[in-house]
Amino acid sequence: MPALSVFEGNFLSRLWNDKETRSLVVQVIATLAFFAFFAYIIRNAYVNLEALGKGFSYEFLFQTSAYDINQHLIEYSSKSTHFTAMLVGILNTLLVAVCGIALSTVVGFILGVLRLSKNWLTNRLAYIYIEFVRNVPVLLHILLVHGIIVNTLPIPRQAISVGDGAFLTNRGFFVPKPIYEPAFWGVIAVFVAGLAFFAWFRKYAKRVQDDTGAQYPVFWIGVGAIVGAPLLAFVAFGAPISWDVPSLQRFNFAGGMVVRPEFIALWLALSLYTAAFIGEIVRAGIQAVSRGQTEAAYALSISRGRTLTLVVIPQALRAIIPPLTSQYLNLAKNSSLAIAIGYMDIVATIGGISLNQTGREMECMLIVLLLYLLLSLAISATMNWYNRRIKLVER
C-alpha cells in the first residue's frame, strides 16, 4: 500500500509538471467555477423572486400592452400584446442600426479621404469636424439634432412642400404610401431573378477574364438585370401600384407614411457621430498602404481617383475592416439612447413601458440583453465573413 501511494504521488506529480496537462486542468477548473458562479446567481434570483411571489414567467408577453407607439413598421395599437410591442421595438432598433451603418460608412469614407486631401482648407475642415464630433458625448449630439429639427421646422399648417405629395414639418416627414396590387409580386419576382442572374454573371465574367483575359461590361449588365428588367416588368404589368397621398386635416396630416423627427434625429446623430471615428479609421487604413503602390500606379499613367479606388482602397480595406466592425457595434448599442428623445426602440418598449406595467424586471432585461447580444453577433459575423473574403490569398 505505501508503494502504491508513492506511485500515485509520482504519477500526479508528473501530470501536474506537464505543461499541457496543467493548462487543461486549470481551464477545466476555471470553467466549472464560472458556471457554478452563474448557477448560484440564477438560483439566488429565482429564490428571491419566489419569495416576492413573482416567480419567473413570460406569460405577460401575451397580455394587452395598453400603450401607443408613435412609429411602427407593423400593425400595432394599444390593444396589441406586449409581444407585438416587443417586435415593434426590435424592428425600430434594426431600422436605426441598418440606416445608421449605411450613412456613417458613406460619410466616414468621405471624411477619411478628405483628411488626406492636399487642399489645405478641405483637410482642415474635415479635421475640425472630426475632432469636434469625437470629443462631444453622443447623447448631446442626439439631443442637439432633435432640438434643431423640432424647433426649426414649421408646424403642419406651414409645412414645407416637397413636390406634390411630400411635406416636411416638425412632426415628421409625410410622404405618399404605396399600395401594392397583386401583380406587383411579378415585379418583385423579376427583381429577385435579376439579382440571381447578376450574381451568377459576375462570377462567370471573372472566370472568363482569368482564363482568356476578355472583359465583359459587368456593371452595365448588372444595372440592366437589377434595374432595367424590373422597370420593364413594372410597365408590362400596367404599373400595379397606387399611392395614398397625405393631406392636411385640422391639426396634422392624415394618410400616407410619416418618418418621425425622433427617428431622423437619432439616425443623423448616430451616423454623423460614428462617421467621425470611421473617418480616422479610413485615413489610417489608406496611410497603411505602401506608397510604392501609389507611385507604381502613377507610373502607369493611372489617374489619382482611379488609383485610389482600384489600388489603394482595396488594400486599405484589410486594415480598415477590423476596427470598422467595432464602430458598427458601437452604433448599434448606442441606439439604446433613443429613449432620451422618445424614439420607441427595444429599450423603450419591452425594457421600459412594458417593464413598468408588468413589474417583470428580470424577464424584460433578459430579453433586451439577449436581443442586443444577437444583433452584435450578427454584425460581427457579417463583418468577419467580409474580412475573410477580402484577405490576401497566398499562392
Q: Compare 168 and 164 and report the one with higher pLDDT.
A: 168
Co-location of 30 and 140 in the same domain? no
- Note the pLDDT of residue 2: 53
Q: Does residue 183 form part of some domain? A: no
Q: Is the pLDDT at 196 greater than 90, yes or no?
A: yes
The torsion defined by the Cα of 16, 17, 18 and 24, in degrees rounded to 10, comes to 40
Measured CA to CA, the distance from residue 275 to residue 327 in angstroms comes to 9
Q: Does residue 135 form part of some domain? A: yes
Measured CA to CA, the distance from residue 143 to residue 149 in angstroms comes to 10
Least trusted range by pLDDT, from 38-52, 96-110, 224-238 = 38-52
Instruction: Looking at mean pLDDT, say which of 173-177, 212-216, 356-360, 378-382 comes out highest.
Output: 378-382
Q: Is the pLDDT at 30 greater than 60, yes or no?
A: yes
Which amino acid appears at position 260 of this protein? R
- Note the pLDDT of residue 393: 55
Q: Does residue 204 form part of some domain? A: no
Q: Is the pLDDT at 326 greater than 60, yes or no?
A: yes
Q: Does residue 298 form part of some domain? A: yes
* pLDDT tens digits, 143-166: 999 999 989 988 888 888 887 788
User: What's CA 329's distance to the chain center, in Å?
Assistant: 8
The cell 416587443 sits on which residue? 86
Residues, the chain, total?
395
Average pLDDT over residues 121-138: 93
Co-location of 123 and 12 in the same domain? no
Cβ neighbours of 242 (radius 10 Å): 12
- Note the pLDDT of residue 259: 86
Q: Is the pLDDT at 389 greater than 90, yes or no?
A: no
The pair phi, psi for residue 148, each rounded to 5°, is -65, -45
* pLDDT tens digits, 173-194: 888 888 888 888 888 999 999 9
Q: Does residue 274 form part of some domain? A: yes
Enter the pTM of the model: 0.81
Domain hosting 267: range is: 82-176+245-390
Q: Is the pLDDT at 6 greater than 60, yes or no?
A: no
Co-location of 107 and 19 in the same domain? no
Q: Is the pLDDT at 15 greater than 70, yes or no?
A: no
Average pLDDT over residues 47-71: 82
Co-location of 360 and 278 in the same domain? yes
3-state secondary structure 156-210: HHHCEEECCCEEEECCEEEECEEEECCCHHHHHHHHHHHHHHHHHHHHHHHHHHH
Q: Is the pLDDT at 368 greater than 60, yes or no?
A: yes
Q: Is the pLDDT at 133 greater than 90, yes or no?
A: yes
Q: Does residue 95 form part of some domain? A: yes
**What number of CA atoms fall less than 13 Å from residue 292's CA on the CB side?**
1
Co-location of 384 and 327 in the same domain? yes
The β-bridge partners of 114 are none
Q: Compare 44 and 380 and report the one with higher pLDDT.
A: 380
Measured CA to CA, the distance from residue 149 to residue 42 in angstroms comes to 45
pLDDT band at 11 (very low <50, low <70, confident <90, very high): low
Co-location of 26 and 152 in the same domain? no
Instruction: Looking at mean pLDDT, say which of 104-113, 152-161, 297-306 comes out highest.
Output: 104-113
Q: Does residue 236 form part of some domain? A: no
Q: Is the pLDDT at 315 greater than 80, yes or no?
A: yes
Co-location of 39 and 112 in the same domain? no
Measured CA to CA, the distance from residue 248 to residue 159 in angstroms comes to 9
Measured CA to CA, the distance from residue 248 to residue 54 in angstroms comes to 49
Co-location of 260 and 382 in the same domain? yes
User: What's CA 394's distance to the chain center, in Å?
Assistant: 32
Instruction: Kindly report the average pLDDT of the chain as a whole number.
Output: 87
Co-location of 252 and 352 in the same domain? yes
The pair phi, psi for residue 179, each rounded to 5°, is -115, 110
Q: Is beta strand 177-180 parallel, antiparallel or unpaired with respect to 253-254? A: unpaired
* Number of domains the chain contains: 2
- Note the pLDDT of residue 130: 93
168: CATH: 1.10.3720.10
Q: Is the pLDDT at 1 greater than 70, yes or no?
A: no
- Note the pLDDT of residue 21: 77
Question: 338-353 burial string, b = 16+ CB within 10 Å, else e?
Answer: bbebebbbbbbbbbbb
Q: Does residue 237 form part of some domain? A: no
Exposed (0-12), middle (13-18) or buried (19+): which is 176, by Cβ within 10 Å?
A: middle
Q: Above pLDDT 70, what percent of the chain?
A: 95
pLDDT band at 87 (very low <50, low <70, confident <90, very high): very high
